[in-house]
Amino acid sequence: MKKIVSLIVFVLSMGALSAQDLLPNVQIKDLKGQDIPSVSLIDSNALTVVSFWATWCKPCRQELEAISDDWEDFQKTGARLIAVSIDDSRSTGSVQSIANASGWEFNIYLDDNQNLKRALNISAIPYAIVLDKQGKIIRRIQGYNPGEEVELFSFLNTNKQ
Amino acid sequence: MSFFLLKRKQSCLFIIFSILSLTIFAQDTSHFYSLNHFGGGIETQHQYYFSNSGSGIVLPQKRYASNSYVTLNYNYKKIIAGVQAEAFLPALQGYTKYTPDYKTKVDITHYYAGFRSTKFDVTVGTFYDQFGNGLIFRSYEDRQLGIDNTIRGVHIRANPFKNLQVKAFYGQQRYYFEYSDGKIGGADADLLIYHKQDAQHPITLKAGGSLLFINQDSLAYTDIQHNKNVTAWAGRIQFSAGNYLLNAEYMHHSPVAYVPSYIFQPGSALLVSQSYHFNNGLGINLDFRRLELAALKADYGIDDINNNLNYLPSLTKQHTWLVSSIYPAVCENKHEIGGQLGINYLFKKGTSLGGKYGTSVFINGSLYKDLFYSNFNPGESFKAKFIDFGGQKQYSDINVTIEKKLSKTVKGTLAFISQYNLQQGAYAVKTKIVATDFLFKLNTKSALRTELQHMWNQLEEKNWAAALAEYSYGKFSFFATDLTDYQTSKTHYYNLGGSYSANAQRFMLSFSKQRAGLLCVGGVCRFVPSYMGFTLGYTYNF
């Protein structure tokens, strides 16, 4: 027990030291199965919202649909939205099809063995991060309640520059 | 204490923390973000149990149980390192294999250090990876299921040429708080053969191959024929042209002895997935899979989901309704043939069926049959035809889901599911499910979500019904669910609680009566016993 308490204290102290961090560079895939480095998600001209979801995750799809419903408002923030699916080989084949039928206009990538999710220490989805133009994580959003997209848009507008 | 006197785990930790301590103090503050990165997370869940004699719920040996995970990852330039500690005090109901004696268990379960760049990486310690679609090898962690089959050893990935990636590893698989006796080695290559970057008609052709070697010299089988060395190979292609995608993989392995069936013979798995999406909102995906004694294990003496080396999930729609979890699809991984078809379509805004906001329709059907005509006898080998749909029907599912935004503030979902599920090869459960989900946006900060579900079933526990209400206000959420077999025992399985999320933190408190049954994620299932009690959860990551 002492070991784990020590580690918790150590982790929390390290967390306090590194409140801002960089997107880890691990391999994810595009919808054609091509490996790409996660750092290629960074846009040097705009903020990037990376939202982790799966076809079987109801609140994840609610979040993406809420943003999609207010797509014009999202675009006004000047940010990019990237949805990273953690579907594994059971359901990767239906990711594109479900995105299509949902009318989503943003880019989708696959993290089928959860390399990026693990590197970001994410334990459950929905989970979103906001990257600045240098790839620094400037916000983490765990879970989703309806209406939280309004707060996200406000954050993106405030941090445009 | 001399370094050489330390145990292997301690030695690894000593190396990792030496690297960490050197790099922490070597940071160049002017380029802090480009040099150093600490990341970590805490996930902790605590339960306190009560007995409920009316529902047959008995107290576990300990009233209090908890599962906790603490992770820390660090990188300095291209050097990476990390640790994970786990505490089961004792383990929650459903995870008791982590603490079978109901004693507390705390240990550092993951520790690694290495070098990572875009073209090359090497990891010493614990690692996860997947070859191809996972038919031959997948190590992963799923805390909800209590699965963690990480490999402890050495892992290398390299891109020696622009279009070629190779990976190799050697190590032992984690099995709860121990490691498998079997030693595992693997290699994988992925080659981009052709790629045409064209905005209208891009074409990509990739091919890959994998090898896996399992050595179980340390195992002592006395009563069955046993091959101590198992080899497996897999080949795959991936082809995409415009909106069409083909993904096919075949795996074959040398003879192994399966416990408890005691069959000794080779096995194979074939997966062919295709999808096509039209620009008008129509998408189609079609999967075919054939499994013949396809499970690869680090230790063939143990029949446990934590002991799998490859990933063979049920290729069916993963339903999220409460009533659909009563009879979930379970892939036996042994001998099945079948597939699934998904057709998804968006009726666009302004059309007669799309209305003002559009309508999404998701149709899915799946069918799986036993690969063989007759049952096998213990100890006897058998031959199966490669393509043979004459076997006993194991599972089928036809489902339609319609999602529609009804107004600016109301969204609705209507689902119909018809399932056939053969239970342990003995009798079939046939169910029909109708379920609805409505989301009402009350204002910009609050919303109410409701679910009503009903399952018709002629056998066993007969009909089931469920209801859910969830109210959210800003970062707070309160929920109440109830699931009941209202025609038989009339037991109510409920869950009442709330959660609060603030950026990277989330608190959750609930009181529930849990039904005994299978908890399934991704078609992999774990039995969870019934219990009643409080659950307190907290997660934080950075």
What residue in A sits closest to B449 (Cα-Cα)? A146
Q: In angstroms, what separates the C-alpha of A81 from chain B's closest C-alpha?
A: 18
Mark yes or no for CB contact B506/A143 under 8 Å: yes
For B143, the 3-state DSSP assignment is: coil
Q: Tell me if B93 sits within 8 A of B84, measured CB to CB.
A: no
Burial of B199 (0-12, 13-18, 19+ CB in 10 A): exposed
pTM comes to 0.89
Chain B interface includes A148 (CB < 8 A) = yes
Quickly name the fold that domain A22-158 has: Glutaredoxin (3.40.30)
Select the residue from B70, B74, B356, B443 to test the A interface by mutation, using most A Cβ atoms within 10 A: B70
Do the Cβ atoms of B472 and A146 come within 8 Å?
yes
Helix H or strand E encompassing B11? helix B8-25
Chain B residues 387-406 within an 8 A CB cutoff of chain A: 403, 405
Per residue in B407-427, pLDDT (tens digit) is 999 999 999 999 999 887 678
Whether A18 and chain B come into contact, CB under 8 Å, resolves to: yes
Q: Answer whether B305's CB lies under 8 Å from B145's CB.
A: yes
For residue range B277-299, what is the model confidence (pLDDT) as tens digits?
888 889 999 999 999 889 898 88
**Cβ–Cβ under 8 Å, residues B54 and B35:** no
Tens of pLDDT, residues B201-242: 889 999 999 999 999 876 655 545 567 889 999 999 999 999
State mean pLDDT over A12-21: 53
Tell me which of B39 and A108 has the higher pLDDT: A108
Model pLDDT for residues B448-501, shown as the tens digit of each residue: 999 999 999 988 779 999 999 999 999 999 999 999 999 998 999 999 999 999
The A residues from 35 to 64 touching B (CB cutoff 8 Å) are: 35, 37, 55-56, 58, 62
Give the strands of the sheet with A136-142, arranged side by side: A21-22, A136-142, A127-131, A48-53, A80-85, A107-110, A27-30, A35-37
A8, containing H or E segment: helix A2-17
**With contact defined as beta carbons under 8 Å apart, do B33 and A20 qualify?**
yes
* List of residues 6+ apart from B430 with CB closer than 8 A: B418, B419, B420, B421, B457, B458, B459
**Interior angle at CA B478, CA B474 and CA B479, nearest 5:** 140
ipTM score above 0.85: yes
DSSP code of B223? S
> What's the residue count for chain B?
542
Residues B220/B165, Cβ–Cβ less than 8 Å: no
